[in-house]
């Protein structure tokens, strides 16, 4: 899953993850959200201290209670802001006039940014905390499902392109099944990367490369079909014989 999740690190320093760009830090609420995001990304949910967040944000501790009331409401607000940026970014990517392979490459680039910016850690921390916190889980799960639905939409678009090229997959291989493979693989990859399992022991990049090759083949078929459909029709008038 998977910037802040949406943007390049603003200062290029991966050790200082940011949720908001400096231009968006004018409000007290924005400063608190950004400070909470940085604490989550660096220290995790269990060690999250409201007083330390207030100190980092340069605000009175009471203002956190005023704006967010509880720790869980604060972390959900952090996730909502990150997801807002993610979904905007993903919608732009899926709507761009580029091939499926290029979109896949872009998604991989986004993931590298998300890992460096701390978003992958933030989401994993809330995922883990949700297991023992029903209230947090109730708020967290719909955010994950929104991402899954977005991926499903992209897969459905690819299925339509396949069918337009005359390729229809067997019934078990539905868009829903393929989207599930992608999202669950991606989540597993995130956890493996976070705990430091070496790439050569898993082969994630090889799997991602394989999907990219499949999409390049789909793009080539789509271009071929488009070219054939737009080529000028040859004249069918019989040639006149000489003599």
Domain ranges of the chain: 22-227
pTM exceeds 0.85, yes or no: no
pLDDT of residue 131: 92
Q: 48 vs 76, 119, 138, CA distance in Å? A: 13, 16, 20
Report the pLDDT value the prediction gives residue 238, as an integer from 0 to 100.
Answer: 55
Residue position matching structure tokens 């390729």: 167
pLDDT of residue 60: 92
**Tell me, what's the pLDDT at 239?**
55
In the block, which residue shows the tokens 């990049």? Answer: 205
- Please list, in sequence order, all residues whose beta carbon lies within 8 angstroms of the beta carbon of residue 15, skipping any fewer than 6 positions away: none
Give SS3 for 81. Answer: helix
Predicted pLDDT of residue 4 = 36
Instruction: Using 50 as the pLDDT threshold, list the residues of the chain that sit under it.
Output: 1-15, 23, 235-236, 243
> Structure tokens of 42?
């660096």
Do the Cβ atoms of 126 and 36 come closer than 8 Å? no
Candidates 1.10.230.10, 1.10.10.10, 1.10.357.10, 3.40.50.620; correct CATH number of 22-227? 1.10.357.10
Secondary structure element (H or E) that encloses residue 104, with its range: helix 100-117
Q: Name which of 164, 181, 174, 157 is nearest 99 in CA terms.
A: 157
pLDDT for the residue numbered 15: 45
DSSP 124-190: HHHHHHHTT-HHHHHHHHHHHHHHHHHHHHHHHHHHHHHHHTT----TT--HHHHHHHHHHHHHHHH
107 and 100 Cβ atoms separated by less than 8 Å: no
Separation CA 139–CA 62 (nearest Å): 24
Residues 87 and 119 sit within 8 Å (Cβ to Cβ): no
């Amino acid at each position: 899953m998977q910037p802040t999740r949406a943007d390049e690190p603003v200062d290029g320093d991966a050790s200082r993850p940011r949720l908001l760009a400096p231009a968006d830090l004018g409000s007290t609420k924005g400063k608190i959200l950004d400070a909470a995001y940085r604490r989550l990304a660096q220290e995790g949910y269990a060690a999250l201290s409201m007083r330390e967040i207030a100190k980092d944000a340069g605000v009175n501790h009471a203002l956190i209670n005023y704006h967010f009331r509880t720790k869980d409401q604060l972390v959900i607000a952090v996730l909502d802001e990150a997801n807002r940026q993610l979904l905007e970014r993903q919608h732009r990517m899926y709507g761009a006039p580029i091939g499926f392979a290029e979109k896949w490459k872009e998604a991989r680039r986004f993931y590298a940014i998300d890992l460096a910016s701390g978003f992958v850690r933030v989401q994993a921390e809330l995922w883990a905390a949700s297991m023992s916190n029903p209230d947090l889980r109730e708020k967290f799960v719909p955010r994950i499902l929104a991402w899954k639905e977005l991926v499903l939409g992209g897969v459905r678009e690819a299925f339509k392109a396949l069918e337009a090229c005359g390729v229809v997959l067997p019934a078990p291989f539905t868009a829903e099944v393929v989207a599930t493979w992608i999202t669950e693989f991606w989540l597993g990859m995130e956890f493996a990367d976070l705990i430091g399992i070496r790439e050569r022991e898993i082969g994630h990049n090889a799997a991602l490369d394989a999907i990219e090759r499949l999409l390049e083949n789909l793009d080539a078929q789509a271009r071929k079909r488009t070219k054939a459909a737009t080529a000028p029709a040859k004249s069918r008038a019989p040639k006149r014989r000489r003599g």
